[in-house]
């Protein structure tokens, strides 16, 4: 059984309209082998037993691939540690007696639904605005392997494609900017021949949607790159800046 | 849409911020090169500097460039304020506990504040010299040129003025420390081979240029 005692300060908010506040919860019997989410499960279990409302937080795969989990832990998205999501964060990162602050992602574009759960559908709308390629499905498909692609481009596109859309980049950015996410989605397609025909509209439409959603403006602090669980590079933001400029100048 | 792509969009604001910022950086080099003449505090140095000041305020080509410069300063400031306001709006509820030191330098997150301080300095600086040179009552030197040199020398006998200048140059250094390489990133210039070079040049520029600027009032104060 666990041997750590922790003092949690957690954001509680009944619904989108509620103002919300930080509330303190002591938790005992935390094992250092638990993930952060399992520790919250223990706390919620205690709350339910006491007939209190459990804390709402997002999670799904619990193995760092779906992008559902979030949480701003001790001032950083996905907590301390690099290249991991909150579900991959283990309690051994903390010490017995620690006070841990847990807050939801803060962004005008990610309104709080309840407690620690926020609405990230703004990302879906940005994707829908251009994060796709149009292909025939009538049987005349071109074999993807028949297209020569330089290894470096394929690797870079793949790196961009590892973005799981968690929103940590927005959460940590002092400007609440979504540039790292959007640039990863733009790069992933524009680096490959299949993505080129629609490249100009794609970058123009996705940036337009990004601005509409109310995300802030990138000022190149680089905080997103440090906190991104998938190590998405700022190089993609520069690529998007280039593509957008060229598209803006040359689009008819 | 193509219109807003190059004017109104979030990326467009960054492009203009970067372009005006880089132009202002080039201006700093030219301004510094001219002003280093002030370090020569002999009577001959005084005449030469006044001659130079006359050239800089009357030669047509320099005048045109100076209008572009004024426009750039105003645009950079205006665009910066606009960005800062929008970025504030993007996070209406702030974090209770935020550990920004974990992922960014303090100055990269304070560009608007640093920029505002620089703007205050520019107003002070232009009132002291630029305004006086154009519309003030300046004496004449033995060559019959407006004696800007003496005004500068007298101004820098006041300790508080020298202190304000040195502090302002420190502020400028931090603004440039982030701003220089940031401008290249905004314009899409990021490459594994060149970005490290741009970053090193940026640090060198951000340190050397303000140090030399600050040297002028300090030197003139000491040697007064
Ligand atoms: S870029 Fe990184 S931090 Fe941003 S959504 Fe994608 S995986 Fe998450
Ligand atoms: S729950 Fe799927 S990434 Fe954390």
CA distance A190 to B127: 51
Domain containing residue B75:
3-90+107-222
If asked whether residues A43 and A133 sit together in one domain, one would say no
Can you give the CATH number for the domain in which A242 is found?
Answer: 1.10.1060.10
- Using a CB–CB cutoff of 8 Å, tell me whether A231 touches chain B: no
Can you give the CATH number for the domain in which A27 is found?
Answer: 3.10.20.30
The answer, yes or no, to whether residue B217 has pLDDT greater than 80, is yes
Is residue A164 within 8 A of residue A230, CB to CB? The reply is: yes
CA distance A106 to A172: 8
Averaged over B133-147, what is the pLDDT? 89
Averaged over B120-144, what is the pLDDT? 91
- Interfacial residues of B (vs A; Cβ cutoff 8 Å): 1-2, 4-6, 9-15, 83, 86-87, 89-100, 102-105, 108-109, 111, 178, 181-182, 185-190, 192
Distance A237 CA to ligand 2 centre (A): 24
The torsion angles phi and psi of A113, rounded to 5 degrees, stand at -90, -50
B93: Cα within 13 Å, side-chain hemisphere: 21
Q: Which residue of A has its CA nearest to B104?
A: A223
* Per-residue model confidence (pLDDT) at position A234: 96
Reported as a single tens digit per residue, the pLDDT across B68-109 is: 999 999 999 999 999 999 999 999 999 999 999 999 999 999
Give the domain-ending residue among A61, A81, A114.
Answer: A114
Q: Is position B97 within any domain? A: no
* Per-residue model confidence (pLDDT) at position B224: 81
Strand pairing category for A4-12 and A99-103: parallel
* Per-residue model confidence (pLDDT) at position A140: 78
Any idea which ligand is nearest the CA of A65?
A: 2
**pLDDT grade, residue B1 (50/70/90)?**
very low
Q: Is position B100 within any domain? A: no
Chain A residues within 8 A of B189 when measuring between CB atoms: 238
Reported as a single tens digit per residue, the pLDDT across B41-52 is: 999 999 999 999
Q: Is position B127 within any domain? A: yes
Averaged over B49-69, what is the pLDDT? 94
Tell me what ipTM this predicted complex has: 0.90
CA distance B175 to B111: 6
Averaged over B124-132, what is the pLDDT? 93
The answer, yes or no, to whether residue B221 has pLDDT greater than 50, is yes
If asked whether residues A209 and A143 sit together in one domain, one would say yes
If asked whether residues A105 and A200 sit together in one domain, one would say no
If asked whether residues A37 and A97 sit together in one domain, one would say yes
If asked whether residues A128 and A108 sit together in one domain, one would say no
Can you give the CATH number for the domain in which B18 is found?
Answer: 1.20.1300.10
Q: Is position B95 within any domain? A: no
The answer, yes or no, to whether residue B223 has pLDDT greater than 50, is yes
If asked whether residues A128 and A236 sit together in one domain, one would say yes
- Structural domains of chain A, count: 2
Average pLDDT score over chain B = 93
The answer, yes or no, to whether residue B215 has pLDDT greater than 50, is yes
Ligand 1 within 6 A of CB of A77: no
- Structural domains of chain B, count: 1
If asked whether residues A134 and A207 sit together in one domain, one would say yes
If asked whether residues A103 and A128 sit together in one domain, one would say no
If asked whether residues A148 and A227 sit together in one domain, one would say yes
Q: Which ranges of chain A have pLDDT less than 70?
A: 1-2
* Per-residue model confidence (pLDDT) at position B3: 52
Ligand 1 within 6 A of CB of A79: no
Domain containing residue A56:
4-114
If asked whether residues A109 and A135 sit together in one domain, one would say no
User: Can you tell me which residue has the tokens 């223990």?
Assistant: A42
If asked whether residues A131 and A182 sit together in one domain, one would say yes
CB contact set of A153 (below 8 Å; sequence gap of 6+): A191, A192
If asked whether residues A52 and A133 sit together in one domain, one would say no
Helices and strands in chain A: count of H runs, count of E runs: 8, 7
Chain A residues within 8 A of B109 when measuring between CB atoms: 174, 219, 221
Q: Which atom, in ligand 2's list, is nearest to the CA of A166?
A: 3
Reported as a single tens digit per residue, the pLDDT across A60-73 is: 999 999 999 999 99
* Per-residue model confidence (pLDDT) at position A243: 95
Of residues B198 and A139, the one with the higher pLDDT is: B198
Of the candidates A201, A179, A212, A251, the residue with the CA atom closest to the CA atom of residue B182:
A179
């Amino acid at each position: 059984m666990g041997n750590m005692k922790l003092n949690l300060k957690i954001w509680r908010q009944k619904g989108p309209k509620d103002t919300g506040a930080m509330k303190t919860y002591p938790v005992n019997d935390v094992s250092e082998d638990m993930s952060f989410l399992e520790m919250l499960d223990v706390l919620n279990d205690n709350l339910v037993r006491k007939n209190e409302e459990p804390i709402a937080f997002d999670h799904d795969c619990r193995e760092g691939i779906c992008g559902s989990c979030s949480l701003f832990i001790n001032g950083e998205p996905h907590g301390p540690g690099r290249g991991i999501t909150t579900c991959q964060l283990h309690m051994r990162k903390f010490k017995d007696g620690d006070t841990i602050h847990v807050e939801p992602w803060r962004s005008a574009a990610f309104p709080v639904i309840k407690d620690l759960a926020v609405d990230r559908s703004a990302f879906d709308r940005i994707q829908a605005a251009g994060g796709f390629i149009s292909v025939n499905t009538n049987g005349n498909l071109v074999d993807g392997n028949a297209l020569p692609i330089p290894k470096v481009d394929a690797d870079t596109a793949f790196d961009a494609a590892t973005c799981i859309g968690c929103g940590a980049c927005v959460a940590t950015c002092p400007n609440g900017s979504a540039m790292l996410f959007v640039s990863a989605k733009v790069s992933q397609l524009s680096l490959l021949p299949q993505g080129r025909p629609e490249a100009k509209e794609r970058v123009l439409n996705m940036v337009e949607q990004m601005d509409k959603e109310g995300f802030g403006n990138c000022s190149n602090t680089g905080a997103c790159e440090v906190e991104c669980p998938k190590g998405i590079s700022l190089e993609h933001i520069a690529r998007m800046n280039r593509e957008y400029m060229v598209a803006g100048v040359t689009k008819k | 849409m193509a219109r807003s792509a190059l004017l109104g969009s979030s990326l467009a604001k960054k492009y203009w911020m970067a372009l005006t910022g880089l132009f202002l950086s080039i201006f700093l080099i030219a301004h510094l090169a001219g002003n280093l003449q002030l370090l020569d505090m002999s009577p001959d140095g005084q005449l030469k500097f006044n001659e130079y000041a006359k050239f800089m305020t009357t030669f047509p080509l320099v005048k045109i460039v100076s209008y572009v410069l004024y426009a750039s300063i105003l645009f950079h400031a205006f665009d910066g304020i606009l960005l800062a306001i929008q970025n504030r709006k993007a996070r209406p509820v702030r974090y209770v506990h935020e550990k920004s030191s974990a992922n960014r330098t303090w100055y990269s997150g304070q560009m608007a504040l640093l920029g505002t301080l620089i703007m205050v300095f520019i107003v002070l600086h232009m009132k002291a010299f630029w305004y006086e040179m154009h519309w003030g009552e300046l004496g004449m030197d033995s060559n019959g040129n407006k004696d800007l040199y003496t005004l500068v020398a007298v101004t820098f006998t006041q300790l508080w003025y020298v202190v304000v200048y040195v502090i302002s140059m420190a502020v400028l250094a931090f603004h440039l420390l982030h701003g220089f390489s940031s401008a290249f990133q905004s314009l899409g210039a990021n490459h594994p081979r060149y970005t490290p070079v741009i970053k090193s040049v940026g640090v060198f520029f951000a340190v050397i240029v303000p140090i030399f600027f600050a040297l002028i009032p300090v030197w003139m104060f000491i040697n007064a």
